[in-house]
Structure 1
Amino acid sequence: MEINENAALVVVDVQKGFEQEFWGRRDNPGAEGNIAALIDAWQETGRPVVFVRHDSVQPGSPLAAGSGGNAFKDFVEERRGKGAGPELLVTKSVNSAFYGEPDLDAWLKGAGVGQFVVVGIQTNMCNETTARMGGNLGYDVLFALDAMHTFDLAGPFGWTRTAEELTRATAVSLHGGRFARVVTTADVLEGVREGGSAA
């Protein structure tokens, strides 16, 4: 797998509020370890990293701006500002990182970035929305499925789906619909090693 020397890593909403029981049962307990490994690889090779934070405006949200849950998880916060390459913080109150501040599309295009990797929380919500928009905007989007997680969810007509079912549905929709290429952390790390450093 080819990972461009200036490919961006977009780390979506890895915030403490997602650790609360409010959300219910999650999948992929290995997500955080894979996210950390990818941040480390990006920072070591001087590639750009985008940290996205959801500043919820919904009353009572675990991710409400200014609350303890709004903060990044410790393993992410301790890595911010440590890379050799450019770094951006995007804040948003909707699903897509492309509808945040500052303008992610403008920042990526201004840096000549045509490829990015999505990781973070939640697989079928902000991650999927960001990937779909990225695909529509012409980016080569890689969706690192084992470097993210989601939660069981109830929908209409009494339907429910487990986190694992939602993850598979998201992967099939994105990959089959050619919005993004669904990949593994190992695939991406191998591509980074083969592609060398941007620094």
Structure 2
Amino acid sequence: MAPFASDDPVALLLIDVQRGFDDPVYGERNNPEAETRIGELLSRWRETERPIVHVKHCSSEPDSPLRPDKPGNAFKSVGEPREGEQVVEKRVNGAFVGTNLESWLRERSIETIVCCGFTTDHCVSTTTRMAENRGFDPFVVADATATFEREGYDGRAFDAEATHQHALAHLREEFATILETDALLD
């Protein structure tokens, strides 16, 4: 797998690949192919027996579809963990806060992580930034992430694709290498 050597310990982080993000409460989403790309990444990681981490958001917000007592907390079928794959449950946007993710990666001498999932501008971005700040080498797979339309502080609307692209631009070079699934798997 480019850009990694075949024996490099590179972990795939599937961030919040959960059914709750199908809820209409989130509004218009970009990248309807994200789940397909996530599935391709997950298949390759399983084929090559590289480390896989499934990150699950367990919201404490009263109306969130991602609450542990809601059906939306479940993983989407494309990201369903298999026996032996690490599952990390978080309560905030960053997967390193209040979890064992960092120690799990360090115990396995994993320095490089590949991030995909939901949403580009929230949990994917926060986890990626925190990874880089902790000395990891993060990659974000642009076509295996997605987000929703957002409203600015002044009421201005930002469509989902613009929000996605801006989030990737903010991560690029400063916090992560941004690439597409095909470039990673070729």
Q: Same fold (TM over 0.5)?
A: yes
Question: What is the distance in 2 between the residues matched to 1:137 and 1:13?
Answer: 21
Question: What is the distance in 2 between the residues matched to 1:121 and 1:19?
Answer: 11
Q: TM-score, normalised by structure 1?
A: 0.88
Q: Does 1:21 align with 2:17?
A: no
Corresponding residue for residue 196 of structure 1: none
Moved over 4 A (4+): none
Question: What is the distance in 1 between the residues matched to 2:62 and 2:168?
Answer: 31
Q: Which sections of structure 2, spanning at least 5 residues, go unmatched?
A: none
Q: Does 1:179 align with 2:175?
A: yes
Q: Which amino acid aligns with 1:155?
A: G
Corresponding residue for residue 93 of structure 1: 91
What are the equivalent positions in structure 2 for 1:121-160 lying under 5 Å apart? 121-160=118-157
Cα contact 2:38–2:78 (8 A) shared by 1: no
Q: Which amino acid aligns with 1:128?
A: S
Question: What is the distance in 1 between the residues matched to 2:149 and 2:168?
Answer: 16
The alignment partner of 2:172 has SS state of helix
More displaced stretch, 9-18 vs 68-77: 68-77
Instruction: Say which structure is richer in helix.
Output: 1
Cα contact 1:63–1:70 (8 A) shared by 2: yes
Count of residue pairs the alignment pairs up: 183
Post-superposition shift, 1:96? 0.5
Corresponding residue for residue 62 of structure 2: 59
Q: TM-score, normalised by structure 2?
A: 0.94
Deviations 1:108-127 (A, max 9, x none): 01100010100000010000
Q: Which amino acid aligns with 1:146?
A: D
The alignment partner of 1:126 has SS state of helix
